[in-house]
Structure 1
Amino acid sequence: MTDGDERSSSTHRTASGDVDADAPADDDAPALPDEDVDAVREALVGWYGESHRDFPWRRTDDPYEILVSEVMSQQTQLGRVVEAWEAFVDRWPTAAALASADRSDVVSFWTDHSLGYNNRAKYLHEAAGQVQTEFDGEFPETPAELSELMGVGPYTANAVASFAFNNGDAVVDTNVKRVLYRAFDVPDDDRTFERVASNLMPDDESRVWNNAIMELGGVACGKTPRCDEEGCPWRRWCRAYETGDFTAPDVPTQPTFEGSRRQFRGRIVRTLGEYDELTVDELGPRIRVDYAPDGEHGREWLRGLLSDLADDGLVDVVERDGESAARLRR
């Protein structure tokens, strides 16, 4: 479960489970070692079974209850959703009950529980009505059919098909992209993510697999990874874990500290802590061995750093006998 339908979730499997001919050829994407694929799958499913978060909608295969949880979870933290979800399904326990409710009551509930845009409540109410009138009270079971319900986009349709009917495609949301990018060096390309995710998911296992891989991205492989703390099951195969490079499509490369302005600002503060006051030319060689007054890393460069520190309230810059001097602000 993720933040909403705006996240890519489509795949290119046909009804038989084959990859669509419009998708990139297999040799266009990074290959996982054949002998490791089964082990990768088993490790993830085993990890999920032992340690996943116990949300109430994970204990049901009722498509109505799962749809409610998915709509509520769009851009809302899961911990906040639990209480609202339990109250909602207690008040309107079936699609029929919701369809017969006054829409204003549904919208008021949404507002009272701070669940975001009220149009989601309206769409959910209308979707319940569609189940009654267009599907004879029986929930549709495929992503394509579920997408006909009001407000149900590709991600939600696939999630309900997966978690209620074990009949979905591989989910590709932000969390899944992050996991695949880090673990298997999948390039940042939507079609490639979709193809790799689809090929990696075991046949007829969309319920447990999609839950498991999203849990991995949400718990162990977040923007700040917790590989060892959460016992990530893919550490032995993971490129990021091996190299220490945990960048990802939604995690930009961190600026290098070595040689950065941040590093030299810190050196200035430490050095001035040892002296009452230093002129720029006295300070320069103490923080950079290649300091040259008129060079690239000379007076102008150092004055810029001192100006930043002065703006931050850490340093005072004064003029002494025609020279700039710096001291820590007391």
Structure 2
Amino acid sequence: MTDASVPEELQDVAPALPDDSDEVDAVRRALVEWYEDDHREFPWRQTDDAYEILVSEVMSQQTQLGRVVEAWEAFLDRWPTVDALAAAERSDVVSFWTSHSLGYNNRAKYLHEAAQQVVEEYGGEFPRSPGELEELMGVGPYTANAVASFAFNTGDAVVDTNVKRVLHRAFDVPDDDAAFEAVAGFVMPDGESRVWNNAIMELGGVACGKTPRCDEAGCPWRAWCHAYETGDFTAPDVPTQPSFEGSRRQFRGRIVRLLGEHDEMELDTLGHRIRVDYTPDGEHGREWLRELLSDLTADGLVEIDRTGEEAKARLQR
């Protein structure tokens, strides 16, 4: 742990954070010891393989972790290395993604393209810093930092929704991204991104959720926590996701799922299969279907074969 009192510029944005260096170190030790003593077991926490961690991070985006475990293990059984994934047919990867209900199919495409980048541009070895990892297709700042942290221990402090909620409640940090970044970076011990980021996300997931379980989960920060002291457990608002039922995203997913089961399908046949009220000239007819297919084509997921009498759709290979 690094001895350091709270810089003056942070005292205004984290008024409940101890300003004594010994107390700051006590805060750090308490969280790490709590995490190391007992935490949820996920298989990707047992590896420092960057490929395996990247797969877990991409799968975990807006998907419950319990559902991710089975999909992650099945994915690695099929494509155990970054070289294996890079050599795979994109249509097979997208079909797998859809069949395991892992959300946006673009993630499968980008994961496949990132694997090809690692093989072709980095000789099969993942870059180690967050900045370099962001050069991979579909890898944003959060995912890059998570891979750097958990694979190489070279990351910065992770700041996700759970971490924001923890910092807001514990140290009275305002709902401001710059403030969260600054406080998270200060609190994380130097050179310990792997254990620290796992620990603080675990705290947000187990003890400091939307409904706090401070005593039940043995929160290690109760002695310092502003919310625990005041009883005010409000937290930053979490943006609500638009309804999935009946959305374009739902029908895009149905198209990809069906095309994963068939080599190709005529457009009207596809339309009838994805929507019971599909009528070629109706409101949800050919024009509506072509718009969905146009989006999927632009995303590199679907291609249209117009060489025959009837246009046919299939997954891009």
Normalised by the length of structure 2, the TM-score is: 0.70
Match in the other structure for 1:64:
51
In the TM superposition, 1:126-275 aligns within 5 A as 126-250=113-237
- In structure 1, which of residues 15, 33, 55 is the aligned counterpart of residue 42 of structure 2? 55
AA at the equivalent of 1:29: V
1:107 Cα offset (Å): 0.6
- Asked whether the 8 Å contact 1:183–1:237 carries over to 2, the reply is yes
- Asked whether the 8 Å contact 2:44–2:52 carries over to 1, the reply is yes
- In structure 1, which of residues 25, 29, 34 is the aligned counterpart of residue 13 of structure 2? 29
Please tell me the root mean square deviation across aligned C-alpha atoms, in Å: 1.6
In the alignment, the residues of structure 1 paired with residue 73 and residue 12 of structure 2 have an alpha-carbon distance, to the nearest angstrom, of 45
In the alignment, the residues of structure 2 paired with residue 142 and residue 26 of structure 1 have an alpha-carbon distance, to the nearest angstrom, of 26
Match in the other structure for 2:85:
98
- Asked whether the 8 Å contact 2:13–2:172 carries over to 1, the reply is no
SS at match of 1:104: helix
Note if 1:78 corresponds to 2:62: no
Indicate how the Cα distance of structure 1 residues 124 and 251 shifts in structure 2: closer, same or farther if over 3 A, else same. Answer: closer
In the alignment, the residues of structure 2 paired with residue 193 and residue 112 of structure 1 have an alpha-carbon distance, to the nearest angstrom, of 37
Consecutive unaligned residues in structure 2, runs of 5 or more: 1-7, 240-317
In the alignment, the residues of structure 2 paired with residue 74 and residue 52 of structure 1 have an alpha-carbon distance, to the nearest angstrom, of 20
1:33 Cα offset (Å): 2.5
What is the identity percentage for the equivalent residue pairs of Structure 1 and Structure 2?
Answer: 80
1:74 Cα offset (Å): 0.4
> Displaced runs of 4+ in structure 1, greater than 6 A?
none
AA at the equivalent of 2:13: A
- Asked whether the 8 Å contact 2:161–2:238 carries over to 1, the reply is no
In the alignment, the residues of structure 1 paired with residue 204 and residue 159 of structure 2 have an alpha-carbon distance, to the nearest angstrom, of 11
In the alignment, the residues of structure 2 paired with residue 251 and residue 82 of structure 1 have an alpha-carbon distance, to the nearest angstrom, of 25
In the alignment, the residues of structure 2 paired with residue 189 and residue 120 of structure 1 have an alpha-carbon distance, to the nearest angstrom, of 28
Please give the per-residue CA displacement for 1:67-102, whole angstroms capped at 9, x wherever unaligned.
Answer: 000000000000000000000011101100000011
User: Aligned residue pairs: how many?
Assistant: 230
Normalised by the length of structure 1, the TM-score is: 0.68
- Asked whether the 8 Å contact 1:178–1:250 carries over to 2, the reply is no
Consecutive unaligned residues in structure 1, runs of 5 or more: 1-23, 253-330
Match in the other structure for 2:273:
none
In the alignment, the residues of structure 2 paired with residue 251 and residue 109 of structure 1 have an alpha-carbon distance, to the nearest angstrom, of 30
1:207 Cα offset (Å): 0.3
In the alignment, the residues of structure 2 paired with residue 248 and residue 136 of structure 1 have an alpha-carbon distance, to the nearest angstrom, of 44
- Asked whether the 8 Å contact 1:223–1:250 carries over to 2, the reply is no
AA at the equivalent of 1:80: R
In the alignment, the residues of structure 1 paired with residue 238 and residue 63 of structure 2 have an alpha-carbon distance, to the nearest angstrom, of 20
AA at the equivalent of 2:180: F
- Asked whether the 8 Å contact 1:223–1:251 carries over to 2, the reply is no
Match in the other structure for 2:306:
none
In the alignment, the residues of structure 1 paired with residue 238 and residue 111 of structure 2 have an alpha-carbon distance, to the nearest angstrom, of 33
AA at the equivalent of 1:67: L
In the alignment, the residues of structure 2 paired with residue 94 and residue 249 of structure 1 have an alpha-carbon distance, to the nearest angstrom, of 39
1:242 Cα offset (Å): 1.0
1:137 Cα offset (Å): 1.0
SS at match of 2:70: helix
In the alignment, the residues of structure 2 paired with residue 107 and residue 67 of structure 1 have an alpha-carbon distance, to the nearest angstrom, of 16
Match in the other structure for 2:110:
123
Q: Which has the larger radius of gyration?
A: 1
In the alignment, the residues of structure 2 paired with residue 123 and residue 58 of structure 1 have an alpha-carbon distance, to the nearest angstrom, of 23
In the alignment, the residues of structure 1 paired with residue 229 and residue 218 of structure 2 have an alpha-carbon distance, to the nearest angstrom, of 15
1:188 Cα offset (Å): 1.4
SS at match of 2:113: helix
